[in-house]
Amino acid sequence: MSFFIICIVPLFIAFIIIMGLKEKQDIFKLFVEGCLEGLKTVYKIFPFILAITIAIGLLKSTGALDIILIPLRPLLIKFGIPDDIVPLCLMRPLSGGASMSIVMDIFKNSGADSISGKMASVIMGATETTLYTITILFGTVGIKKVRGVLIAGLIADAAAIITAIILVNIGVI
């Protein structure tokens, strides 16, 4: 089985070359054109990636996430949500890297087997970087009307977060 896994990429490349030769296509020219299209895509999405990265950095460095927690504490205690989970819930739709950083902090401070660690693990596995993904994918192709996709994605993220909190609090996970 591992031999097949090792050979799958070279076999796929060989298949593409064989099909190109069979169709009498200039494989190198097509490869170069594909690379050019890839660079154009990077050029289109770079401003969106930069804007999201700067916004996330500002939220973390200014302490805005800590300020958001102050009025939420009584509600968090009532529902059994640890304080350190809230920044993850807020950051996860924005950035996978920033949310992974938060999870690593949770693991370091509370432990991976703690309630916070378990909730963080389930949240990371069950949610998506919704805003980031929508910004990149829809921004690249120029789609402006994203309201329906955004609402559906955020509802799915909220459902996953709520489910994670419930399952960890009742001891299923």
What per-residue confidence (pLDDT) applies to 1?
62
- The burial of 7, by beta-carbon neighbours within 10 Å (0-12 exposed, 13-18 middle, 19 or more buried), is given as exposed
Q: Any idea where the domains of the chain sit in the sequence? A: 45-169
Q: What is the pLDDT along the chain (173 residues), one digit of tens a residue?
A: 688 888 898 999 999 999 989 988 888 898 899 899 889 878 877 887 787 778 777 877 898 877 877 888 899 899 999 988 988 888 898 888 888 888 998 999 999 999 999 999 999 999 999 988 888 888 778 888 888 999 999 999 999 999 999 999 999 88
The Cα 34–Cα 31 span in angstroms is 5
Is the whole model's pTM more than 0.85, yes or no? no
- Specify whether the CB–CB gap between 45 and 139 falls below 8 A: yes
CA quadruple 160, 161, 163, 167: dihedral sign:
positive
Greatest pairwise CA separation for the chain in angstroms? 69
What per-residue confidence (pLDDT) applies to 41?
79
